[in-house]
Structures are given as C-alpha cells and as structure tokens.
C-alpha cells in the first residue's frame, strides 16, 4: 500500500507537469494536486513498524 502511494504521488506530479507544459494548468488544480501529492508522499514515507505499533496489530 505504501509503495502504491509513492507511485500515486509520482503520477500526480507527472500529470501536473503535463498540464503545465500544455499551458492548461489552472491555479486551483495546482493547489489540489500539490496537496494530494504532499499527503501521499507523507503517508508513503511512514515507518511501517510505527503504524503497526500505533494500530496495535500485525494486520498493517
């Protein structure tokens, strides 16, 4: 799951770059994509052991 989030973040950034190159990027779209990208990157960077301890199990 965490690897997926890293890939998702990268995909968002590539899509944003594509819109920027095409000249179709809108400010609201930039802000939304930036927020999603930052959040996905932060979650993907979490330590799995910390998550397991926080949620109290091995199912994480």
- Give per-residue pLDDT as tens, 5-40: 989 999 999 999 999 999 999 999 999 999 999 999
Examine residue 46 and state whether it is found in any structural domain, yes or no: yes
Examine residue 35 and state whether it is found in any structural domain, yes or no: yes
Report pLDDT for 11.
94
Could you list the residue range(s) of the whole structural domain that residue 17 is in?
A: 2-55
Whether the per-residue pLDDT at 55 is higher than 60: the answer is yes
Tokens standing for residue 27? 């400010």
Examine residue 14 and state whether it is found in any structural domain, yes or no: yes
Give me the numbers of helices (H) and strands (E) for the chain, helices first please: 3, 0
Report whether 14 contacts 55 (CB < 8 A): no
Examine residue 36 and state whether it is found in any structural domain, yes or no: yes
Examine residue 32 and state whether it is found in any structural domain, yes or no: yes
| Structure letter (DSSP) for residue 6 | H
Examine residue 60 and state whether it is found in any structural domain, yes or no: no
Q: How many domains does the chain have?
A: 1
């Amino acid at each position: 799951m965490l690897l997926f989030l890293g890939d998702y973040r990268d995909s968002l950034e590539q899509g944003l770059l594509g819109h920027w190159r095409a000249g179709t990027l809108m400010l609201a779209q930039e802000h939304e994509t930036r927020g999603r990208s930052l959040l996905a990157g932060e979650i993907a960077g979490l330590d799995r052991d910390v998550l397991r301890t926080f949620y109290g199990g091995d199912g994480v």
